[in-house]
């Protein structure tokens, strides 16, 4: 297949591209920079894209967006987080809808931040959206995909949880602290964390590409959500390091947008179930946290 990917240089995009290429598929990166061989050029902020380069593709995977943890949530950073997703999805989907030879499927990124802070509630793809900043971002991220759906393109919006990989993402950023024995739960540690390993994230995206029944919202999380305290202890066990510290909830009140970022990353509770994946026959490589961490951090 010929598959275009936005965000192909990110943690998920680069792993997905490598997996597809290893199986003989042609990957077409959608990039801002000129001179990248075999790529499609776009400028999401300007609303422009080389639509001719999208003609005749089999699938498109849209993962591009400003990093959620790229910096404190100042007003300017909030705008970058929101607009990079909303504008990029609108630009892409408008172009796809206007093609003569449309792709069969669009897999478009989103996140479990869609649900907001929900305590112990079990969240499925049918659950309502939250009311906080990230929930609004996710709603505006997903909304433009209607342009592709109305044009007859099968569309899946993948609501991804915390992606676990030692090379990047949330876990990669925390590794040094854990290795130094500074791993800490956040507050009481009773908030739920819904996670997925990078290899299951890639396999689940490929499942969405290949499976006709996968359409609409899809939760990309393992079937084993854990509390923040359980997650902290599990990473400590995997690395053979103590995890007796606690981060105070007062961190949520730090100024200059830092508290908002910390609060969203550490103190929000999302207990999410992968209903669509399980209903469509997806088999997880890493369904349980302890076993997943043992794979990520093999004993030497």
Considering Cα of 83, then 270, then 187, then 181, what sign does the dihedral take? negative
Pairing status of strand 59-62 against strand 40-43: unpaired
Reduced to 3 states, what is the DSSP secondary structure of residue 48? strand
Per DSSP, what are the bridge partners of residue 5?
29, 61
For domain 2-165+194-223+270-287, the CATH architecture is 3-Layer(aba) Sandwich (3.40)
**Beta-sheet strands, E only, within 7-86:** 26-31, 40-43, 48-49, 59-62
Domain residues of the chain, as ranges?
2-165+194-223+270-287
Print pLDDT tens along the chain (300 aa). Answer: 999 999 999 999 999 999 999 999 999 999 988 777 789 999 999 999 999 999 999 999 999 999 998 889 999 999 999 999 999 999 999 999 999 999 999 999 999 999 999 999 999 999 999 999 999 999 999 999 999 999 999 999 999 999 999 998 889 989 999 999 999 999 999 999 999 999 999 999 999 999 999 999 999 999 999 999 999 999 999 999 999 999 998 988 888 888 888 898 899 999 999 999 999 999 999 999 999 999 999 875
**DSSP assignment of 206-269, as one string?**
HHHHH-TT--EEEEE--S--EEHHHHHHHHHHHHT----EEE-GGGGG-TTTHHHHHIIIII--
Ramachandran region, residue 216 (left: φ > 0; alpha: ψ -120 to 50; beta: rest): left
* Strand 40-43 versus strand 48-49 pairing type: antiparallel
Q: Are 157 and 93 in contact (CB under 8 A)?
A: no
């Amino acid at each position: 297949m010929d598959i275009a990917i936005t965000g192909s240089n990110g943690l998920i995009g680069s792993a997905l591209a490598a997996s597809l290429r290893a199986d003989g598929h042609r990957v077409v990166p959608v990039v801002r920079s000129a001179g990248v061989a075999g790529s499609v050029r776009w400028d999401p902020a300007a609303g422009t894209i080389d639509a001719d380069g999208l003609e005749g593709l089999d699938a498109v995977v849209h993962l591009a967006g400003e990093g959620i943890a790229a910096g404190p949530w100042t007003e300017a950073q909030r705008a970058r987080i929101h607009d990079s997703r909303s504008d990029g999805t609108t630009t892409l989907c408008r172009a796809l809808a206007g093609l003569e030879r449309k792709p069969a499927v669009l897999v478009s990124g989103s996140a479990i931040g869609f649900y907001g802070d929900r305590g112990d509630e079990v969240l499925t793809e049918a659950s309502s959206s939250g009311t906080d900043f990230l929930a609004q971002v996710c709603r505006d991220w997903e909304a433009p995909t209607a342009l592709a759906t109305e044009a007859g393109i099968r569309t899946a919006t993948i609501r991804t949880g915390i992606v676990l990989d030692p090379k990047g993402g949330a876990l990669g950023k925390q590794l040094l602290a854990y290795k130094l024995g500074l791993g800490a739960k956040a507050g009481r540690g009773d908030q739920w964390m819904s996670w997925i390993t990078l290899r299951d994230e890639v396999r689940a995206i490929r499942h969405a590409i290949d499976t006709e029944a996968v359409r609409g919202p899809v939760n990309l999380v393992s079937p084993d959500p854990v509390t923040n305290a359980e997650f902290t202890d599990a990473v400590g066990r995997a690395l053979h390091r103590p995890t007796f510290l606690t981060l105070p909830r007062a961190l949520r009140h730090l100024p200059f947008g830092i508290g908002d970022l910390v609060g969203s990353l550490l103190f929000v509770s999302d207990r999410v179930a992968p209903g669509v994946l399980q209903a469509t026959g997806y088999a997880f490589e890493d369904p349980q946290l302890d076993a997943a961490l043992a794979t990520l951090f093999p004993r030497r």
